[in-house]
Chain A
Amino acid sequence: MLEVRDLHAEVNGVEILKGVDLSVGVDETHAIMGPNGSGKSTLAYVLAGRPGYEVTAGSVTFDGDDLLALPAEERARRGLFLSFQHPVEIPGVRMDHFLRAGYNELRKNAGEEQLDPLKFDRLIRSKAKAVEMEPAMTKRAVNEGFSGGEKKRNEVLQMAVLEPRLRILDEIDSGLDVDALREVARGITDLSVPGTSTILVTHYDRVLSYLEPDHVHVLIDGRIARSGGRALAKEIEERGYDWLEAGAGV
């Protein structure tokens, strides 16, 4: 589904990604772990198409197409979704208006009929209930005044509505207490229909107890220093990143 080859990327002229290789197949869950500043979030943003993240070398294909040639909105329309570490507050823009606009873009792209406000209201209400979010919150401005937990739950609601095939979850557990994390993780698991793949970007092992990865990759200084299974994450939890950093010559 996703093939990343020798990916190099800069932010403000500083090279952050220094040759990342990653291959994500259908129905797979990959964890990208690594210490602060290793390039985890940069990788997530580059895949989602954030302006200011300049790819200097390498390639990324999504379903065989050149992902890097597509603007951010086109990537989303093809089924890629980035769950933000810090979801953005947008005063004055209502959740349901925003999400209907996105939803209809995806429908249009798929050659399907767009939903009028009434029909979309029914959809968003049922999705909100499914992710245990108060439907009234969908009438509020996007993320404005939301608590950390509410913002993450809101990201899950957006996933429930947009039904992406590739989900990139950037520090999905940050700012969540254990109960909130359990609920958010359950929401994500419930949405994992066949054909869905997931990339978990995380510093800590904690979230991996709730969302079991098939593959674990450790990003050190802009490169994947080691790949393995669930056991690798456990090892990092016990030993930290130092031993891997030493191995990578950092």
Chain B
Amino acid sequence: MTQHATATPSWADQFHRFEHNGAEISPAWLRDVRKSAFGNFERLGFPTARKGNEPWKYTNVRPIAEAAFTLAEHAPDAGIDLHAYELPCPRVHQLVFVDGHYEPGLSTEPVSEAGLHSDVLGRHGDGPVVGRLADAIEYRVPLVREQLGRLAPAEGNAFTALNTAFLRDGAFVQIPDGTFVPEPIYLLFISTGAQAVVTHPRVLIAAGADSSATVLQSFHSLDGGAYLTNALTEVVTSPGANLRLCTLQIESGDAFHIATTRMEQARDSRVSSVVVDLGGQLVRRETATLLGASGADVNLCGLYYGAGERHVDNQTFVDHAAPGASSNEVYKGILDDSSHGVFSGGVLVRPDSQQTVAHQVNKNLLLSSDAEVDTQPKLEIYADDVTCTHGAAVGQLDADALFYLKSRGIGEDVARNLLVHGFVSEVLDAIEDGAVRQHVEQAVAECLSGSR
């Protein structure tokens, strides 16, 4: 308890400062939401790995609780070269945030006031709205007030509460009904890497009925500091929506990265989510979806790479709350040096959710004898007419395969690389958009080859 007593006042000071002059936009409802969220944070404190706190059994956030993080000052975009982050395609809808601050000069989507007015929103055949959350709040987009914090309430989770307490800006993506967006929507969050800075990226995505889009969220750092990214994404889909989400995380090796994604899926909607964690010192990623109507389908894929003393914790939760919905999960970990991976896959099949199909696989490749992984499926099934499978595996590189490759003239390093890439390809192949897949594959290749 002592760490709360010492850490919380500094958060409290900051919150009061933020409330009085840090928040650029402040409608009354949002002030209330923030205040209530901060109250929740003070009540909850940071989670501890104490006995009985199952979701935090393997992940110790004391280093976060004990550090004194401060909100970033606005950093000018001068000197930031986006070349390395560019997607290999001619057109993207791109928003760039540096240390949590929107950068109009680097973004391609200056949202006009007209584009956010409710009377033109959601019209069939319109292009997507890809803009600042701050703008959507300022222009009173009804959907924002209705949805913000609905899927990720601040009551039960300290990090969610903190994100909402310091909510100021972020990305708002809305795909109108019946709209197919051919270009990737690219949300780029760059940290300057300044020591002890915290950002709370917030994203709200609403996919209209029978719409189709790809959204890539990408987290990078310019320099290696012990900063904290506390990201929160809420995703709501309308019937028949097809949404492809991808997250690429390459934070500094000293950074803390907490990411929470909460989704709600309507009838016959389909979400594909691929998360790729390649950086950070301590990474905790929660991905949850509520399959709230029949025909909803989710594909959750993940790849995590541990090197040095990195700790990567993935928690997934699929709530089968309606009959005839399906879920598929493939999470793969590569753990080198003395890194530690955690996977916990929660699946809840509620009593009336007959004809549920739920598959889950977690495979881990240990490249070092000091690397560790804890994996656990958590299936709760209360319906009887269901197809549910789960499997977990932990192993080393296949020695027979390694010899087979070498017997064809391939050297040790190249052979190991081929096998590691073969191991991850199943996850990367789940990225449907070609440009996004190529971009992420490149990042994975650089990360894996740079480390050995």
Contacts and interface: CB of A to CB of B under 8 A. Distances in A.
Chain B, interface size category, equals 20 to 34
Given A90-B422, A93-B419, A93-B421, A50 B411 contact: no
Interface stretch (B172-180, B232-240, B398-406): B398-406
B354 to A, nearest CB: 33
B425 A98 contact: no
Contacts of A99: 408
Interface in A64-88: 71-73, 75-77, 81-82, 84, 87-88
Contacts of B409: 73, 76-77, 102-103, 105-106, 109, 162
A144 to B, nearest CB: 10
Among the interface residues A49, A77, A99, A101, which one has the most CB atoms of the partner chain B within 10 A? A101
A202 interface: no
B407 A51 contact: no
Nearest to B422: A92
Nearest to B417: A101
B75 interface: no
A63 to B, nearest CB: 16
B103 interface: no
B418 interface: yes
A93 B407 contact: no
Contacts of B418: 90, 93, 97-98, 101
B448 to A, nearest CB: 13
Nearest to A97: B418
A52 to B, nearest CB: 8
A48 interface: yes
A93 B423 CA distance: 8
B414 interface: yes
Interface residues of A, number: 32
B410 interface: yes
A141 interface: yes
B32 interface: no
B422 A91 contact: yes
B452 to A, nearest CB: 16
Contact of A73 (B398, B410, B421, B423): B410
A51 B399 contact: yes
B424 interface: yes
A23 to B, nearest CB: 23
A158 interface: yes
B422 to A, nearest CB: 3
Contact of B406 (A73, A84, A87, A106): A73
Among the interface residues B403, B409, B418, B425, which one has the most CB atoms of the partner chain A within 10 A? B409
B400 A88 contact: yes
A104 to B, nearest CB: 9
Interface string A187-216: 000000000000000000000000000000
A72 B401 contact: no
B421 A76 contact: no
Contacts of B421: 92-93
B426 interface: yes
A36 to B, nearest CB: 20
Contacts of B380: none
A84 B404 contact: yes
B408 A93 contact: no
Interface in B317-351: none
B273 to A, nearest CB: 20
Nearest to A109: B409
Contacts of B423: 91-92
A50 B404 CA distance: 9
A91 B399 CA distance: 14
Nearest to A88: B404
B385 interface: no
A88 B405 CA distance: 9
Contacts of B370: none
Contacts of B407: 48-50, 72-73, 75-76, 81-82, 84
B374 interface: no
Nearest to A73: B406
A142 B407 CA distance: 14
Contacts of A109: 409
Nearest to B400: A88
B408 A158 contact: yes
Contact of A101 (B403, B404, B414, B424): B414
Interface string A164-208: 000000000000000000000000000000000000000000000
Contacts of B405: 90, 98, 101-102
Contacts of A141: 422
B412 interface: yes
Q: Which 3 A-B pairs have the closest CB atoms?
A: A92-B422, A102-B408, A93-B422
Interface of B: 398-401, 403-412, 414-415, 418-419, 421-426
29 contacts: A50-B403, A51-B399, A51-B403, A72-B403, A72-B406, A73-B412, A75-B407, A76-B408, A81-B407, A84-B407, A90-B398, A90-B418, A90-B419, A91-B422, A91-B423, A92-B424, A93-B418, A93-B425, A97-B418, A98-B408, A98-B418, A101-B405, A102-B405, A102-B408, A103-B409, A106-B409, A141-B422, A162-B408, A162-B409
